Structure formats: C-alpha cells, structure tokens
C-alpha cells in the first residue's frame, strides 16, 4: 500500500512549513527524507518553529538538513553537534535546540561529545539516523554496521573478531541519568513511521520542559550502499530491528 | 571605586573578557591557562553568564562556535596542545564567519612538552586556523595590562569582522602579577541580526549553508579574501622604541619583547644605538611598519623563545641583503643580559 494513503491526512498535514520547499536531495529509497519530514512535522506541531535551532551534523543529511528544512539552523563539524548545541542552548536558553546526526557522526567520531552532553543532561534533543554505514563517503564500516555486512572497507563482511559487534547507541545512552527519553524508531513501515513521530515528540518535550536530553535513533534505509533495491531495504530494516536494533522506548524518565 | 588591581595575566584576561561583555566561556583544564577557566567558572554566574567545563578542547571550541552562532560574545582559554585540537573548528569559524576569542597561554612543545613559557606557538597561531584558507587575527601582549586591553580589543575585532581572534601569551605572562586597570563593565551586546534562532524578513537565519556549485563557493572564498585584505589594511599594529637613529634593531614580540625593552634601555644607557620594534598583531604582520623602523639600520636581531619562527616574517618583510640574526632561547624566558650581550657582539662585529 502506498505510504501516503496509509498514513493519511489525518495524521500528517499535507504540507509542513518547517519542511521548506526545496527538493529532498537523497538517493531513491533512502529513509532520511522521511525522518526529516517527521522532525519538521514535530517542530510544527509543537509550535516552536520561531525558536528552534537545528544543529546539522556532517553526513548525507547535511545537504538535506541545511538545504531542505525551513527554520533557523547551523551546520556542525563531524561529530561535534552536541557540543555546538550545548553552546547555543546555554547562550540562548529560550531556544529549542536539536541536533541531526548520523551513526558515524554521533557514534564514532562524536562519541565524546554525545556522552558528555548526555552526562550534563543538556536540554536538547538529539536525533541519530542509523543506516549502518557511512553513506556520504561511499559506504564504509560504521560502528553500527551489522555482523557480516559488506562495506567498502569490510569487503568480506563485518567480522566481530576484527571489528567488534555493532554499537547499540540508544541502550548505551539510556544508562546516563541526564537522558530523560531514549527510543529507537524506524521509517520502513507506516506503523514504524507513526511510532517514530511519537518518539520525536517526546524527545522534544523532555528538552523543552527542561528535564534533560531527549534522544531518538531512527533506523534508516540505505539501498545504495546495502546493495539492495528499495523494497528489499525495507525488509533489511525489519531484520536488523528483529536481531540487533530492537524498536521502541528504552527510557522514559518519570516526571 | 578604583578598578586598579594586582593580578596575574590569567586573571586579568578573564576579568577583561567579562568587562568586554563576554557571557559565554567553555574550556578544558590545561596548564598554564587553567586559572582563566577557574576564574570564569566563579565570575560568569555573577554577571548572568555561563562557563562550561568541557570534556575536551574539541568540545570547548565547538561550544564557543554554538554560543557565537546564537549571538553571545564567547571565548575559550587554552595552551598549545588545546589550540592544536581546536584547529578544525577555527577553520569552520572562519568559513561560516563566526566571531570568538581563543586565548593561548603557550607552554613548551612539541608534544606534551613541559610547563615553561615558550613562543613556539607562533606558527600555529599565525599559520593556523586549521585547513583551508582561513585567517585569525593574532594579538601578542607583553604585560598584564596589555593582556587585559588586548582581550577587550579581541572581542571587538572578532565582532567587527565576524572572525576568530587569538590572544597569544605564554606561561610567564599567565603567572606574572602586575597592577592592572580595568574599564567599566560593558553590557552584553544585543544579539546580531544574523544570530540564531532568528529570522530576517520571513527567512530563517542559516549559518554554514552547504554549497556545492563552484560559482558560489568561489564567491564565498572571495568574500573572505576581501575581508582579510581589509583587516591587513586596517588592523595591523606595532610599536617602535628608540628606533629613529638605531644601528641595530631588535624585533621581538610578547615576553621576548618585554625583556628586550629592558635590554635596549640598558644598552642605550651605555651609549649603544639600538632600538626595538614590537609587532602587536602577529597576523596581520606589520610588514610596512617594520620596513619603516628598519630603514637605515645595519642589522636586525630577532630574539625569540623558540627555534626561530617570527624571523621568517621578518625576513619576508625586509631587504634580503640586510643582516638578520636570530637569537633563540630554547627553554624558558630570556634574561635582559643575553639580549644585551648579543647586541654588543653585533655592534662589535662592525668595528
């Protein structure tokens, strides 16, 4: 069933101002555009478009995040978005600050910044797109690459003996007291899109309420570097959610 | 109420930053700059500002980047090792045109080095700002008073040009105590129209737009080029002392210049015709001012607390036939005596 019909106008407005009018610059079948659309919708529905600051990390989503959204935003160096967001939020506490990062950006080069932003309980929202690879540089091994997954730097597949096992970022961050909401969603089915939208709303709400950091990991399809067609990439996400990256809320701190 | 106090360089820089309207600081403890962070951690809350102890210098400078983007006057104190780590972000600040002040109280390198004062960060400061064609204005104070004054100037320059500014001191300036006079407290400046979150006639403010087409990439690099040319024309600063009739000109900056001033005074008292030229901005380097000061001299002595770094700029500025002599202090600071002896030798070399 086509996605638009499944979700319907009752759930998502036909057009979201925060999404802007520029075309989405992603490969056919990529999940990033859907995730981005959900972030825009969350900002719009919370009524924070005039005071939101999007801190956009470095990856495939840089072009889309800096290009396609329509609200104030700032580009960040690879991995540093939680530190940049800390600077914005501390200097302008009235701002609603979120970061858009990838699994390489956040969980490899930026692991220091995210852990400490979580430790401090910064009042920000962090969205990590997890496509199990480095899309922007041509599909190399990421911390989240699945065991056996072939990438440009693991041509025989990820070998746990050599490269370790995939990092479960949501579960890891949820252990930190400063994190008040942590969930993993996906954009491969209408139902998962619907849940991810709810997760994003909660992750923004805890930060806006001044409780602490809200985190959402979004499993995103990358048919280009998984070497499968877009339909098969939806199945791939289903499989990885069943095996390595379970979907759902991992943490919702009591008010 | 008098605003004259006895303070060490680190304290004076920190208080001057607050006076300049800086309301955001982030830093990672690193000797010999740590007291700046300590001072600001207590002082910022008193004035409604924020001081964050970051998990690394990478995080500290990126917090400054975020705070600057939201319109705050922001700074980070560090030493050479930290400045090395900050290069990528400084490059990015140049690229997206964000103001910010970085203080480098330099300690011996390379590598972990040791805690004694050095001027070996000259290359890093003046050629630094990471990859690409970025430039940062570099100010070089010699005294505690000047450290305070230049800190305030650094914030003004950073805002005027939307560009990072470096204050290059060393472990000696960090710790030496002197009387220092502070100007009255300035208010936190209003957030600039380009800052975040903000809108411009219905259009959302955007910092660091992603550009791919070569025309707009060239346009943005030309804009930077034009800005750097303006800074070179408008903001170059230097001081000359006893240089009018000098046979030998000493060229030195920062702590070496402070010691050289003493040496030149002593030499003058002994009847020697020597003078001093002191760059106050290391980038832009005062090339034309140096040419004027060196007009008619027979030799130039360049004392530096490193293996010879600024001397390259001196050589680029002056006639290649002129005798330009390095005097390198490998560890710690000069005594005036060392410079005076070197001057004496140079003068005797003539007869």
Mean pLDDT score of chain A = 94
Domain end among B186, B218, B235: B235
What is the predicted ipTM?
A: 0.95
Residues B88 and B167 in one domain: yes
Residue with tokens 């809108």: B199
- Delimit the domains of chain A by residue range: 3-252
Same structural domain, B35 and B60: yes
Three-state secondary-structure class, residue A74 = strand
Task: Place A205 in a pLDDT band, splitting at 50, 70 and 90.
Answer: very high
Given a cut of 50, whether residue A3 has pLDDT beyond it is: no
**What per-residue confidence (pLDDT) applies to A8?**
47
**One domain, residues B261 and B151:** no
Among B185, B219, B235, the domain boundary falls at: B235
Whether omega before B197 lies within 30 degrees of 0, making that bond cis, reads yes
Confidence of residue B189 (pLDDT cuts 50, 70, 90): confident
Q: B61 and B174 share a domain? A: yes
Residues of A in contact with B199 (CB under 8 A): 50, 72
- Kindly give, in sequence order, each residue whose CB lies less than 8 Å from that of residue A231, ignoring residues fewer than 6 positions away: none
For residues B135 and B62, state if they share a domain. Answer: yes
Of B179, B203, B235, the one marking the end of a domain is B235
List pLDDT tens digits, range A60-77.
999 999 999 999 999 999
Using an 8 Å CB-CB cutoff, list chain A residues near B205: 72
- Smallest Cβ–Cβ distance between B197 and the set A72, A76, A87 belongs to A72
Which pair of structure tokens corresponds to residue A208? Answer: 């806006």
Chain A residues whose CB is inside 8 A of the B67 CB are 87-88, 90-91
Residue-wise pLDDT for A129-168, tens only, equals 999 999 999 999 999 999 999 999 999 999 999 999 999 9
Residue A149 touches chain B, beta carbons under 8 Å: no
CB B90 within 8 A of CB A112: no
Instruction: Write the CB contacts of B297 (distance below 8 Å, at least 6 apart in sequence).
Output: B243, B246, B247, B248, B249, B275, B322
Mutate which: B64, B206, B212, B220, vs A, most A CBs within 10 A: B206
Which chain A residues are closer than 8 Å to B72 by Cβ?
Answer: 91-92
Q: What is the CATH number of the domain that holds B88?
A: 3.40.50.970
Q: Are both B168 and B304 inside the same structural domain?
A: no
Same domain, B168 and B207: yes
Distance between alpha carbon B150 and the CA centroid of its chain, in Å? 8
Residue B320, domain extent: 239-350
Is there a single domain that holds both residue B184 and residue B331? no
b/e code B106-129 from CB counts within 10 Å (16+ = b):
bbbbeeebeebbbbbbbebbbebb
Q: Does B62 touch chain A (CB under 8 A)?
A: yes
Domain at B309, CATH number = 3.40.50.920
- Is residue B1's pLDDT more than 70? no
Mean pLDDT (whole number) for A42-57: 97
Q: Is B73 on the interface with A (CB under 8 A)?
A: no
Contact indicator for B302, B263 with CB cutoff of 8 Å: no
Do B302 and B164 share a structural domain?
no
- Is residue B168 domain-shared with residue B67, that is, in the same domain? yes
Residues B220-249, mean pLDDT to the nearest whole number: 97
The two counts, helices (H) then strands (E), for chain B are 13, 17
Specify the pTM. Answer: 0.96
A3-252: CATH topology: Rossmann fold (3.40.50)
Q: What is the rounded average pLDDT of the residues A230-255?
A: 95
Residue A4 has pLDDT above 80, yes or no: no
Total number of domains constituting chain B:
2
In A, minimum Cα distance to B207 occurs at A74
Q: Tell me, what's the pLDDT at B114?
A: 93
What per-residue confidence (pLDDT) applies to A22?
Answer: 87
């Amino acid at each position: 069933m086509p996605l638009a019909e499944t979700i319907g106008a009752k759930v998502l407005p036909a057009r979201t101002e925060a999404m802007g009018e520029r075309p989405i610059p992603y490969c056919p079948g990529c999940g990033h555009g859907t995730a981005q659309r959900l972030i825009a919708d969350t900002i719009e529905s919370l009524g924070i478009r005039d005071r939101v600051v999007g801190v956009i990390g470095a990856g495939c989503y840089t072009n889309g995040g800096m290009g396609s959204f329509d609200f104030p935003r700032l580009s960040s160096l690879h991995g540093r978005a939680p530190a940049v967001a800390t600077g914005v939020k501390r200097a302008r506490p009235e701002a609603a600050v979120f970061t858009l990062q990838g699994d390489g950006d956040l969980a490899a080069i930026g692991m220091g910044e995210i852990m400490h932003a979580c430790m401090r309980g910064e009042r920000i929202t962090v969205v990590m797109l997890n496509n199990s690879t480095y899309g922007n540089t041509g599909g190399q091994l990421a911390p989240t690459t699945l065991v056996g997954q072939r990438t440009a730097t693991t041509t025989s597949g990820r070998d746990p003996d050599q490269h370790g096992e995939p990092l479960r970022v949501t579960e890891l961050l949820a252990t930190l007291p400063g994190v008040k909401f942590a969930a993993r969603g996906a954009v491969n089915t209408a139902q998962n899109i619907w849940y991810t939208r709810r997760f994003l709303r909660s992750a923004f709400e805890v930060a806006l309420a001044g409780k602490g950091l809200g985190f959402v990991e979004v499993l995103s399809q990358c048919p280009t570097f998984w070497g499968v067609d877009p339909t098969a990439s939806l199945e791939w996400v289903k499989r990885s959610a069943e095996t390595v990256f379970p979907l759902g809320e991992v943490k919702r701190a009591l008010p | 109420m008098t605003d004259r106090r006895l303070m060490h360089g680190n304290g004076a820089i920190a208080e001057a930053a607050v006076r300049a309207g800086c309301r955001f600081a982030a830093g990672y403890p690193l000797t010999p700059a740590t007291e700046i962070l300590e001072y600001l951690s207590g002082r910022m809350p008193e004035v409604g500002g924020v001081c964050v102890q970051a998990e690394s210098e990478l995080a500290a400078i990126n917090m400054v980047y975020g705070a600057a983007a939201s319109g705050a006057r922001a700074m980070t104190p560090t030493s050479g090792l930290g400045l090395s780590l900050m290069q990528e972000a400084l490059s990015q600040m140049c690229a997206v045109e964000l103001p910010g002040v970085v203080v480098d109280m330099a300690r011996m390198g390379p590598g972990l080095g040791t805690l004694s004062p050095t001027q070996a960060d000259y290359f890093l400061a003046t050629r630094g700002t990471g990859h690409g064609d970025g430039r940062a204005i570099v100010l070089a104070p010699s005294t505690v008073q000047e450290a305070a004054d230049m800190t305030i100037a650094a914030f003004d320059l950073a805002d005027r040009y939307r560009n990072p500014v470096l204050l290059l001191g060393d472990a000696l300036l960090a710790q030496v105590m002197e009387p220092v006079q502070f100007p009255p407290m300035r208010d936190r400046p209003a957030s600039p129209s380009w800052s975040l979150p903000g809108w411009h006639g219905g259009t959302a403010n955007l910092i660091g737009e992603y550009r791919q087409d070569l025309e707009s990439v060239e346009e943005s690099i030309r804009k930077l080029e034009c800005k750097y040319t303006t800074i070179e024309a408008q903001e170059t600063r230097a001081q000359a002392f006893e240089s009018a009739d000098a046979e030998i000109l000493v060229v030195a900056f920062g702590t070496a210049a402070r010691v050289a001033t003493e040496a030149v005074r002593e030499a003058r008292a002994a009847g020697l015709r020597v003078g001093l030229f002191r760059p106050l901005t290391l980038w832009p380097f005062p090339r034309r001012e140096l040419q004027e000061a060196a007009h008619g001299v027979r030799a130039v002595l360049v004392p530096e607390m490193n293996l010879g770094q600024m001397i390259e700029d001196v050589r680029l500025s002056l006639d290649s036939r002129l005798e330009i002599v390095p005097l390198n202090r490998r560890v710690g600071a000069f005594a005036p005596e060392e410079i005076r002896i070197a001057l004496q030798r140079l003068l005797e070399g003539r007869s």
